[in-house]
Amino acid sequence: MAEQKTGAESRQFARAPIELKVDYKKLNSFFADYTKNISKGGTFIKTKKPLPIGTRFLFKLTVPQRDGPFELLGEVVWSQGEAEEPGMGIRFIYNDERQRSEFEGVVERLMADSLGTQLTEKLLNKQLHME
């Protein structure tokens, strides 16, 4: 049973359309899929086999200009299996503030590379005023 996703206006964090490779494991199966977009709070992973809502898993996100993949814990918060673009919405779960800060810096750089510095600053400033 898939939960319907909510609209962009209800998102807590601005998203950028970025495709990154994601590797993760469930039970004894390894998966390699791609993100559709990313924000400081989560990502959408394109996959024909979404995990059940509530599933927590460790995944590795391959980020350009970074020596190794970024390892994060994620939780499936919604999925769409029969949609035009099947996949699952993931909420990031950070180990501590250092990891949060480091990853948020990575996301800001990815957003700036994808959207441009001015648009990224506008989106992030709008987000700060909404919090």
State pLDDT tens for residues 44-86: 998 888 889 999 988 888 877 778 888 889 999 999 877 678 8
- Domain span including residue 57: 17-122
More confident residue, 15 or 36: 36
* CATH value at residue 72: 2.40.10.220
The pLDDT value recorded for residue 118 is 63
Helices (H) and strands (E) in the chain, counts: 2, 6
Does any domain span residue 11?
no
> With contact defined as beta carbons under 8 Å apart, do 44 and 29 qualify?
no
pLDDT tens digit string along 88-125?
999 999 999 999 888 888 877 777 776 666 655 665 55
- pTM value is 0.69
Structure tokens at 76: 């499936």
Whether residue 100 lies inside any domain: the answer is yes
Count of domains for the chain: 1
Decide if 59 is inside a domain: yes
Domain contains 5: no
Inter-residue contact 12 to 41 (CB < 8 Å): yes
